[in-house]
Amino acid sequence: MNTLRNATRLHSGTELQLVQGDITEEKTEAIVNAANEYLRHGAGVAGAILARGGSVIQEESIAWVRDHGLVTSEDPAWTSAGNLLAKYVIHAVGPVWGDGDEDARLADALRGSLRTADSLGLCSIAIPAISTGSFGFPKERAAVITLQAIRDYFQDFPATSIRLVRLVLYDQATFNAFSGAWHDHFHTEPQG
């Protein structure tokens, strides 16, 4: 069961929530998958989404790459969500730590995910800690970049359709990193 730990209202009026739990259990209109550029979903968040959502997500991902080419940080792909509670999966390509320009590419993946949700006219989205698993991005650094990229997006696009963003963090170490960055960024303590 996912647990709301903190919330704040951004410049646009959008609510940003810090949640501890499993992104595959989210009821938002879209969830974000931490993907690779080939949309071959194996381990981590991608594996969990595929296991719960079903093979249709991989089938649609293969078709996306065939029709549109490899996915970039700036331009995520999207598919249906199969058996998940969400309607869409937005496939964001985050950076692999050590490949160069990681901070900018992580911010691009977050902005691209939000832009994709806006282009689909969605009101709610759930986002994991992109690149912090097998891609090796340091959790504390990713947390700071994630919060700033989200805040900047809604400051730049106040007319967004998105009214709710949930940062869904699975393990305790990732939650702790994001909770610390949240406190520094918004000056609030976690709930519960």
Question: Distance between the two ends of the chain, CA-based, in angstroms?
Answer: 14
* pLDDT of amino acid 27: 97
Half-sphere exposure of 106 (CA within 13 A, CB side): 29
Is pTM beyond 0.85 here?
yes
Parallel, antiparallel or unpaired: strands 88-93 and 77-80: antiparallel
- Domains for the chain: give ranges and CATH numbers: 3-186 (3.40.220.10)
The DSSP string of 130-146 is: TTSSTT---HHHHHHHH
Spatial distance between the Cα atoms of 116 and 188, rounded to a whole number of angstroms: 29
pLDDT tens for the 192 residues of the chain, in order: 899 999 999 988 999 999 999 999 999 999 999 999 999 998 888 999 999 999 999 999 999 999 999 999 999 999 999 999 999 999 999 999 999 999 999 999 999 999 999 999 999 999 999 999 989 999 999 999 999 999 999 999 999 999 999 999 999 999 999 999 999 988 765 555
Report the sign of the C-alpha dihedral through residues 177, 181, 44, 95, in that order: negative
The pair phi, psi for residue 134, each rounded to 5°, is -65, -15
Decide: residue 78, CB within 10 A, 0-12 exposed, 13-18 middle, 19+ buried. Answer: buried
* pLDDT of amino acid 190: 54
Q: At what angle do helices 55-68 and 44-53 cross, to 10 degrees?
A: 120
